[in-house]
Structure 1
């Protein structure tokens, strides 16, 4: 199985490696086609779809995986959100979303003002490559869940759906 992941982000690529350990995995810098900081479930999901479809075009017969992190407003709270999409060589598309936690107001306000979460977290924590490791979710869960863990769960949901579909034929 050949997989192309639509990002060079270590947390995302490692999440795919954890679930598809036997696969040949490549990463590619592909456009999400959405804002650098997606601000809704729909926009975040669309970014994952766009990345997965772009990956599939890179190598004939491969699986494309797009993983996208974003934020979404619910009532008076701003939440982390994340989406993943797997596109098979036969163009079947599987989607999944993962963990959501509310962001503290001191983090939420700069995001509402137009900054990206990764930049806000880097400034707030002084951790240069936070996007590639624990991410915001790692900070706000006191390292109980890292960004890689969060995306691993999403990739597991994608793999499970694809396997169910294969087994139910």
Structure 2
């Protein structure tokens, strides 16, 4: 089974490999990451924009690599709400004639990170500034920093990958 992830980020590649291995334990699965544009802002600022970015990424690589079995787009985003600034990601998985999608759980960003994001700083860079880290978005991310490593970005995205695969293992229902 050939799976293409629309990113070179090791977090997105790893969570896809882990999720697919769990859902399809009897399959030999090859996961490859390729760079793909999201077609949205570098820092998506709404739920709708974030979902669109994941869809765009998946469709872009499906067009570019038509001989794979699955194409995966993962887009992290934020939305400023009355309750605070929420962080989350969307996962969109395409196959030849089917689609699955899921959103991660949400968590709220601290005021210092929120302030930087509202000034136009991408979440990963804002997180690095506040937590004195470097390239955290390719490691534990904001969720890892805020949970003291109890929940890293790979594990955080993994569940959404599994949930996005529901239509593929329940084809008679979808």
- TM-score, length-normalised on structure 2? 0.90
Of 82, 85, 88 in structure 1, the residue corresponding to residue 89 of structure 2 is 82
Q: CA RMSD of the aligned region, Å?
A: 1.4
Stretches of 4+ moved more than 3 A in 1? Answer: none
In the other structure, the counterpart of 2:110 is 104
Aligned counterparts, 1:2-151, within 5 A: 2-21=2-21, 22-62=28-68, 63-90=70-97, 92-151=98-157
For residues 85 and 173 of structure 2, what CA distance do their matches in structure 1 show? 39
Contact 1:8 1:27 in 2 (8 A): yes
Structure 1 residues not aligned, in runs of 5+: none
* Distance across 2 between alignment mates of 1:140 and 1:125: 9
Partner SS, residue 102 of structure 2: strand
Structure 2, gaps ≥5 residues long: 22-27
- Residue 159 of structure 2 is aligned to residue 153 of structure 1: yes
Aligned residues of 2:50 and 2:76 also touching (Cα < 8 A): yes
| CA distance in 2: counterparts of 1:76 and 1:101, whole angstroms | 11
Contact 2:140–2:149 (Cα < 8 Å) also in 1: yes
